[in-house]
Amino acid sequence: MRNRANFTGVADHTGLFITFEGPEGSGKTTQVELLGQALAAEEPVLVREPGGNELGERIREIVLYGGLEIDAEAEMYLFMAARRQLIAEVIGPALERGQIVVGDRYHDSTLAYQGGARGVATTWPSTFPRPDVTFLLAVPVRSGLERNVEAGKSTDRVERESIEFHERVAAAYDRLAAAEPERFTRLEATDSRESIHFAVMDRLQPLLEAMKSRQKR
Ligand code: T5A
């Protein structure tokens, strides 16, 4: 890969950057998949965090499944290092090409988990593009964790934290959404998969139209 150390060119991209956020088991992956299918003709780029490229997948393995004691601030930098690599390799170039990028978690996860729940001082780096729209899937913490158990998912180091930790994550997400009402759309994750997807498409319709007219110019 060529050196993209100074890569910042995403401020005035012609693409559309959509992210899904929420506590454990809130249905983010389900909605990313449904949206990916609905937008298939546009060839959207779907990414998950941490992961989505070689460095990110290796960091995912270390931070979530490595069995290590990790300092809270070190954990934050690991998630952010994975994210920065994903921006440089995948998200930034796709937005510059005018593509739709759909993220299964992004920097709001760091603000909610490491900032809100662990109490680490967090900021939004100027080289991390802001999503155009972020869907917050709000779910009662116990219901979300139970969903994951029922789905037979293996629990990772963060997921195994206490109920109080996950309550702090959920409260932090609510604060983030309240602080940026234009970017965030809060959806009840206890509604059916289909009705959530319908609400997602409804919110995106004007943004998709605006993106297409920008690209015609
Ligand atoms: N993390 C991550 C940080 O601490 N900081 C960071 O910066 C980042 C990026 C990642 C972990 O890392 C932490 C947060 C996490 O603890 P992960 O393995 O990537 O972990 O998994 P998560 O992103 O946490 O996703 P989850 O496994 O919790 O699940 P999803 O994606 O929210 O939910 P999904 O779609 O898999 O659905 C879960 C179950 O519910 C069902 C699904 O079929 C599935 O069985 N479901 C529904 N059931 C009823 N009604 C609906 N509407 C449903 N939608 C889905």
* Atom 11 of ligand 1, nearest CA residue: 158
Structural domain boundaries of the chain? Answer: 15-211
Output 215 or 146, whichever has higher pLDDT. 146
**Ligand 1 centre and the CA of 79: distance in Å?**
16
- Best residue among 148, 165, 191 to mutate for probing ligand 1, ranked by most atoms within 8 Å of CB: 148
**pLDDT value of residue 12:** 72
Please compute the mean of the pLDDT values over residues 80-99 and round it to a whole number. 96
Q: What percent of the chain has pLDDT over 90?
A: 88
Given 3.40.640.10, 3.40.50.300, 3.40.50.1820, 3.30.160.100, which CATH number is that of 15-211? Answer: 3.40.50.300
- Report the alpha-carbon distance of residue 158 to residue 111 in Å, rounded: 14
Please compute the mean of the pLDDT values over residues 5-23 and round it to a whole number. 79
**pLDDT value of residue 213:** 85
Total residue count of the chain as it appears in this document: 217
- Report the alpha-carbon distance of residue 208 to residue 132 in Å, rounded: 11
Contact 35, 197 (CB under 8 A): yes
**Ligand 1 centre and the CA of 6: distance in Å?**
32
pTM exceeds 0.85, yes or no: yes
Please compute the mean of the pLDDT values over residues 63-76 and round it to a whole number. 96
pLDDT digits (tens, 9 = 90+) for 184-217: 999 999 999 999 999 999 999 999 998 888 877 7
DSSP letter assigned to residue 131: P
SS3 (DSSP) at 103: strand
At residue 4, does pLDDT exceed 60? no
